Chains A and B, each alone.
Chain A
């Protein structure tokens, strides 16, 4: 009911204040975060009387279609949650307000954000968003299964991996993979064609980012996407990536993971909650989801250490951007500033849904989650490991399409990893010549 009241109130106030209505329209997609931001809006209006924030939430599936239609027809919201994969196109087409001057004028402390987050939302001196939150990747383990298999938490927290024999990671996965006769994959009697529980499930192909699927394995193996952000010269044909993908494919061949074609409809998360797989990689934005839906004992663990001697995780962050066609840019900037300030991010941290971007906030969020019985410290461990930013370049959607197709064919066993990657990288390079 709150949104409706807010919307109606702001609508009414909007009418009262006529043309220069101090109303900022804000949209986001994650309904889990809605209560936190509604609170921020209330606090914000208390500090800035005369400016009301009307928040709308629409799910991920339709979010971008609605936004694009808004851009084209001139009815887009004033402020919206933005995503790294989508913003290059918007920036290129001048749909985003450049915040760099405003940041300077109001002396916004840009070093208060976790390293890299502010920079990745800028290009060539222009700034397109203020950082909102960050996420890393970890693995979630079914601890009931771990206990029956005799795998200790210590073992899980200290796994190593390499693409040749899978390291201690594969040893653990083998113990957790059980066939229909009760034999696990560490024994000789294991029947890889009749598996009941898979020790590990690779979520899928992952497109150009492979955020939860393969990025951590590949980078801990020494893989690098591009030399720097926005550089069109990608390295998808790297043997380090090929080895990684070949390894993941072999997990399915050996019965440690479900075949790619069997695990794409409802996906790895559903398999995990159904007790069909023991370990799944996921991002910190899913913490609440697993907390509410899991009916067994589970634990978040850090990703394994790779051949480079480090754990690696993609370090991603959302930001709030202002639409260049907004009629309330001044008010919108005040709201964006507030969203990027400690006041609002504190509120978000206390709700324990995501890790806000300002340094130190994540610890608060984790404390809030611990108070609810969730141990998410693994994500912090990952944040302090080798973090890398998501690849970013122009024509991202098409690159994503191409790379996704190549990786799909590798995981389906239709193509040799190195061949497929070499072919697709040529096409990717052509897009941003």
Chain B
């Protein structure tokens, strides 16, 4: 991988813009952390300060369930129950199952659309893509009734059901990548007598490591933050995922204010697992095998 090392004007401008964009990206995040450290008494009076005057970790304690209900309310919280360890486990299960299953199932379909011609391929692919255009409000109730009929309410199976088989975005993304795989290797293997499954598992998948990791990362992030469906299906406190549990920091009553500091602390804590995962996958994307030629 060669980077042009000449310091051209273009590169300087590019660096300036990049740094600016990094600042714009980071500033609100820093502000989230700042707000999470502000005691309830200072919250509104110091809302425009860049740094907290008296930093406190009480909101983090609130989120981690280390305070009693009275202490929680005194620190600006709503007193609602927030069980972070249970919801963390549920979120990990929910996200993990979906990411693995969905990526695999969608990769299979995407490969077929890209490389295996069959009747109705174009129409079917178009339909899968079109599924992204169906507003959620339309699918919500029929899917809910289906899960109820299957007796899967309040279960992990019911929560992962609409996601683990097909997602238009994932299929679309992977298909575009399978299309851009050079055909020479596959043709060579084919001539050697390998069937589609072998080609898929031994050639296409390994070559697509970068896009696979990318889409897995995205799916992880999306499912980690998914709220409405787990909220509807996982109503019992024992089934709550993290975003569902987090809603206790939003405003509880009409015209009420959210527990801003608690919300910010909860955001930080909820984001830590995905940040960690990001660093792990980020390295993998960088280290992925670069295809340099067929011969």
Contact = CB atoms under 8 A, between A and B. Distances in A.
Interface string B147-179: 010000100000000000000000000000000
B10 to A, nearest CB: 40
B78 A32 contact: yes
Contacts of B141: 69, 72-73
22 contacts: A8-B238, A29-B252, A29-B253, A31-B80, A32-B253, A34-B80, A35-B69, A35-B79, A59-B80, A59-B251, A59-B253, A60-B254, A61-B251, A72-B141, A203-B255, A212-B255, A269-B255, A275-B44, A285-B253, A288-B73, A293-B40, A295-B42
A283 B256 CA distance: 11
Interface in B76-124: 76, 78-81, 83
Contacts of A283: 255
B140 A58 contact: no
B235 interface: yes
A59 B248 CA distance: 7
Given A56-B235, A292-B74, A293-B40, A30 B140 contact: no
B257 interface: yes
Interface of A is mostly: helix
Given A31-B80, A35-B69, A295-B45, A60 B74 contact: no
B131 interface: no
A62 B231 contact: yes
Interface residues of B, number: 38
A1 interface: yes
A293 B42 CA distance: 9
B252 A32 contact: yes
Nearest to B148: A73
Which 10 residue pairs across A and B have the least CB separation, nearest first? Answer: A274-B44, A31-B80, A273-B44, A31-B78, A295-B41, A59-B252, A31-B252, A4-B237, A73-B145, A60-B254
A292 B40 contact: yes
A74 interface: yes
Given A35-B79, A62-B231, A3 B237 contact: yes
B250 A59 contact: yes
Contacts of B74: 292
B281 interface: no
Interface string A250-290: 00000000000000001101100111000000110110110
Given A7-B236, A293-B40, A30 B253 contact: yes
